[in-house]
Structure 1
């Protein structure tokens, strides 16, 4: 963990945001004091304690594991405020009322240690108002740290420093949020709404206004303003349902009361009678009875309905026309040029929004990079506003804005015939408010493969993988297929890479910057091979994968896997066969093959047995590890964090966890270089397995689950094959089973399942629906 002087944190306010911030601090392994008001004199800590209890039951989970919750100490403001003196950073996350916040700050000033950072999670109140009346010493240690909800999963944090804020204190908090909490800090100015919510609120308002004015259905609006624009598939109305209809009037009031009368948002801010009616009747979105969409459960059914914006009546959700071609795949110029309602509605959103985004630099943040990072990290846009402008073409946008009577901001004029971003000398540069281009500078310890690619070519490359030189004698194996799925091409490149890396490099990392590390084997390819009865090709893929992964495991150099997002099936096995792992905290890893009627085929069974046999606290003997691995793999259990992956044995206790995604490659590279010092490959393991008696015990357990309706008939078949492998087949419990013997058994049982029509039914269902078939 980075040593930045913050050893304990206090969060005041145990609502959704405050509790979530406290959970993320605990996720990072840092003790946190969570305080709130006293509501029950008999149970004075009930508010904070109740928040922790709720978070342990919430899905998606604010805590990365139950152990993290133990780092949260609960208390109340009346009895425990003096404990603030033990803390190095105090985060205020109470209700957005200025008088209450100022009253709390007065109390904090009396108990905090000098130099203790104090920040507000406000999203609406200017810093200057928050610190009014406070001492110079308090003002020096005060800043705004605006987290986004949910704090565990949203990477953006907007940091606002005031004219009196101490630069060293601000830097300490920024470093902590980056390295320890895993956030991407974006510096914002002390202006209304800061960056993301100011643009995001304008964007939503423009889209809602246009839908009402143009008679566009909510289904059509979300189809246009979702995937084609590179924003989450919820689109506009789905997003409002998600965050709550009742939040919209609050954000609107906040901005209209603080922005100058000349701000373009003032001209579009308006209320709709239908929305007011929905809120009044409890239709506040997903947290209420529904919103623009709802689930109608009348008569025991479950029908998704959408509201008619003109009549206010619900009807079964209509199918919006598919937006095909480039316009549906992120080509914004093609989207706004599309004839008819699709293009007109897209322009009605993008034109004003992009114009507005360009108008608030440097008022809201000093550079266009801050705007783009804020919208990508805070609203999950694939491209930021200025990256969108580059896709359309600044000159094209300028002309279209002028033709439609919309304002052309000075920054958009200044870029002329150029673009807001360019590649120069192998580096990405951005257009500044000074009219010059500047390098995009990464923070110390940030290394991105995307940047390396700008200045180099791959050492090896085929259709599914590539090998890169990431400096200091470390090579990087990158999966490049759809969902980074694994196939023969990946295995082929691994075979080519090993002798090359052994000759010219010190170590290798397995890493990519896709949304997910790897979704596993290419199921579509496997299904095709089955349909043409290419059994030899399937066996070749499985045995080839075993050989490739074991070649990595026993290579004469260390291999460090650096997963992030999903690492499932074969992706998990790539991790398991590495010497060491540096995982992003948000890694979701598991051997899920049973869900498609198969078992792990690339050495996953043996690797999990090896880990569990070495697991501290587990009873010795052949059966305990077998039973634990069987339980995890037969139920296709997926760890929902890297911390949980250690508890499940997918990661070793010694493996590393990186909180900030942008620091993962650098951390993995450092781990690989450290392992390279005097490296020797591991010795192949030998297993003592229980044999037929152990399989009989596992079979009996599965029969019990089936009798209780917890397992299907085919679950029992698949589980039986898995049990055969994990117990060593016909082995004698007094004899050792080698890794090679276990791999041969794994291959044989896998191939038997491939011949099963019910396995193919599961694969087809998974490919068609993304969900497992319970046959």
Structure 2
């Protein structure tokens, strides 16, 4: 049996199967995508080929780079099934019909190698039924791998092993899915709906039922069952619109047909005439003509919501909802809110959390698996047991009992204890034996939050902190809102460098947040502008330049480890690092032109240095300058870490980590690999095109202006950028130093920040999050 997975086959090129194939390709692994031969003849590979072509046009994109698509080999089941012999893992993602799946497995068994894993992406058919009639050898290689849609962006993978599954085969698949595909794997039991969909389907059904029974509007229900509960702002009805209303009857039929008759879901499952009519009329959600919400284009794109009683659409109402602590995530305050909104919150939460508590050990071995599944599969901020801890397990049990509702055994076992606690610097969970057990991370999984349980920061202020993460490595963390960068961050960098130089080998720049940094704190900037504190603004720009160059030329390696958004100043810190270990989902770029500014913390010079040394870049002063001008002036942001390499925000040798939970570990390893013989880089010098280059860049921008692709003020901003990138008054024979470019950056930044049109752009960005085209 192969201990590694070098090639994968996915059978079924529908939305899910094609998405799984794309994620395998994103991992850099060849994948064979097969589907049936079309009935109309012609191209026998048309279905699989069409799926790949469609994904290249889809937004959000299933592929992290167009290069990944080249790793997908397409074919059909009739002609190419024999190629399964080349594969180490076969994933079946065909229609949810047992007879079709079983017939396919019979054919797979004839051609696969012993030890090649075979898995089904089913979420409705028990594993025992799937392998019925197959050989013992096939059963040893079989498991269920339940991905969530879209496979690139949803981190959860539920794995179900059968009683005959070879643990080595299951472990091989799990390791590949974890490290290569970036999945957080949760082991589930072979029960209907597994974990996430079983709880999630009950939550949705209960949410719809209770809203209709209690006379709530869809807006009121979603205002409660959204941010206040720590679940996505779509709430219940918005979520159903997103995933498709027509999916609801299928989920209901699947669970009612397979769950035990006394399962709590059976008592709430009901046919809803309104939903049946909506589906019949094509109102299946966002993919249809609308759903519980719709955009009425005949009325000027008016947002509308459906009336749950009459089925008629009306203008979407603004709902006050809950307030105070309840609106800010205090679950006890939420369920104790007087009136129908508080009653709805309690009915929904009590039913859902009690159900989740009843599923240990039926659906999962412990509370951690349940919580992980709901956080990752449904994007809840806290899992069910973490939510019970917020309510108080004893409070929750007593209130259930007072209402005559069953109290799950696990709640009774907990008593007045929490399901999670921190003991001796370790996070622990309450087991079914009534004892607490350490939460053990898989090898290679490291989180800054774990260090914080038992350590104090080496340095800390209002916007940043420095931590010891072991092995002689320090970690610089941003801590402000959206990890925005300000003078406090720069101050702490200045304090950190001598401290790290004295007692540590290397430093990494990392945080556990969803986004690395949203760049400079625009709120502080606009405040300073409004009081004409120009010297303070220039001081912040100069301080940022000084701090970033101090990092670049520190006597130890600096490795940045970004995930999510890293824009503006967040991108510039990557550019000034010795190396980057990025999460695959990295959205980075120099976006300052969008708010009427230019990069001010060294981004222009660093991009020029990369561009002129990029493979294939023509020689001479102008090609690299033109390329950087195009990238920065259009505020281009990468849609993945791989694309960030193509845009030169990352170097070719920078690392990419697929699993977010492994990013800190990988960054630390990269930093340590640079320690031996480390020497800071030499400051670069440039020969730039000067006035002639400046004119050429402005002419290119004018072409966009004439075609209506650039506004009048875009021309002013791009002129300032062109001034910097061309070297100002320099001539091609002059040497332009890094310090010269920093001065040009600072001067032109200050010229723009004083312009009222830049102020208007910043204000709109702060108010709406959208750029102003002035």
TM class, shorter-length: over 0.9
Task: Name the CA distance, whole Å, in 2 between partners of 1:505 and 1:542.
Answer: 29
Aligned residue for 1:673, secondary structure, equals helix
Q: Which residue of 2 aligns with 1:72?
A: 72
1:695-717 deviation line (CA, Å, top 9, x unaligned): 11110111111110000000010
Q: 2:485 touches 2:521 (CA, 8 Å); kept in 1?
A: yes
Distance in structure 2 (CA, Å) of the matches to 1:322 and 1:702: 48
Distance 2:651 2:595 in 1: 27
**Which residue does the alignment assign to 2:650?**
651
Matched with 2:401 is 402
Contact preservation (8 Å) 1:4, 1:175: no
TM superposition outliers: structure 1 runs of 4+ over 2 Å: none
Q: CA deviation at 1:323?
A: 2.5
1:739 aligns with 2:717: no
Deviation for aligned residue 1:405: 2.4
1:413 aligns with 412
Q: 2:224·2:321 contact (CA, 8 Å) conserved in 1?
A: no
Q: Note if 1:684 corresponds to 2:690.
A: no
Partner of residue 88, structure 1: 88
* Residues 193-272 of structure 1 mapped to structure 2, 5 A cutoff: 193-272=193-272
Partner of 2:369: 370
Q: 5 Å matches for 1:299-698? A: 301-698=300-697
Q: How does 1:182-201 map to 2 (within 5 A)?
A: 182-201=182-201
Q: Distance in 2 between matches of 1:542 and 1:478?
A: 20
Question: What residue ranges of structure 1 are gaps of 5+ in the alignment?
Answer: none
The equivalent of 1:708 in structure 2 is 707
State the distance in 2 between where 1:440 and 1:602 align: 41
Q: C-alpha separation between the residues in 2 aligned to 1:255 and 1:489?
A: 54
1:56 maps to 56
Deviations 1:445-472 (A, max 9, x none): 1111010000101000000000000000
Q: TM-score, normalised by structure 1?
A: 0.99
How many Å separate the matches in 2 of 1:770 and 1:279?
A: 34
Partner of 2:274: 274
Q: Is the contact between residue 222 and residue 233 of structure 2 (CA under 8 Å) also seen in structure 1?
A: yes
Tell me if the contact between 1:352 and 1:406 (Cα under 8 Å) persists in the aligned partners.
no
Say how many residue pairs are matched: 772
What SS does the corresponding residue of 2:700 show, helix, strand or coil? helix
| TM-score normalised by L of structure 2 | 0.99
Is the CA contact (8 Å cut-off) linking 1:218 and 1:307 kept in structure 2?
Answer: yes
Deviations along 1:317-372, whole A, 9 cap, x unmatched? 00011422110111101100111122111011000000000000111010100000
Q: CA contact under 8 A between 1:189 and 1:363: conserved in structure 2?
A: yes
Matched residues in 1 for 2:162 and 2:175: separation?
18
Q: In the alignment, is residue 151 of structure 1 matched against residue 156 of structure 2?
A: no
Alignment check: 8 A CA contact 1:14 1:34 kept: yes
Which residue of 1 is the match for residue 173 of structure 2?
Answer: 173
Q: CA deviation at 1:513?
A: 0.7
Aligned match of 2:114: 114
Following the alignment from structure 1 to structure 2, what is the Cα–Cα distance between the partners of residues 47 and 198? 32
Counterpart of 1:17? Answer: 16
**2: CA distance, partners of 1:72 / 1:442:** 33
- 2: CA distance, partners of 1:326 / 1:191: 38
- Partner Cα separation in structure 1 for residue 313 and residue 369 of structure 2: 40
**Once the two structures are superposed, what CA deviation does each residue of 1:672-724 show, in whole Å capped at 9, x if it has no partner?**
00001110000001111111101111101111111100000000100110011
User: 2-side partners of 1:604 and 1:770: how far apart?
Assistant: 23
Q: Aligned partners of 1:594 and 1:558: how far apart in 2?
A: 31
What is the alpha-carbon distance in structure 1 between the residues aligned to residue 45 and residue 608 of structure 2?
A: 44
What is the SS of the residue equivalent to 1:236? helix
Counterpart CA distance in 2 for 1:755 and 1:187 is: 57
State the Cα distance separating 1:515 from its structure 2 match: 1.3
Q: Secondary structure at the match of 1:34?
A: strand
Structure 1 residue 37 corresponds to structure 2 residue 44: no
- In the alignment, the residues of structure 2 paired with residue 329 and residue 613 of structure 1 have an alpha-carbon distance, to the nearest angstrom, of 50
Q: CA RMSD in A?
A: 0.7
Q: Deviations for 1:199-236, whole angstroms, at most 9, x for unmatched residues?
A: 00000011000001000000011110000000001000
- Alpha-carbon distance in 2 for matches of 1:357, 1:268: 15
Q: Aligned partners of 2:613 and 2:166: how far apart in 1?
A: 49
Q: 1:721 is matched with which residue?
A: 720
Does the CA-based 8 Å contact 2:321-2:341 persist in structure 1?
Answer: no
Preserved CA contact (<8 Å) 1:515 1:565: yes
Q: Distance in 2 between matches of 1:311 and 1:182?
A: 45
Aligned mates of 1:215, 1:4 — CA distance in 2: 57
Gaps of 5+ in 2: none
Shift of 1:400: 1.2
Measure, in 2, the Cα distance between the counterparts of 1:167 and 1:241: 39
- Secondary structure of 1:670's aligned partner: helix
Deviations 1:55-110 (A, max 9, x none): 00000000001000000000000000000000000000001000000000000000
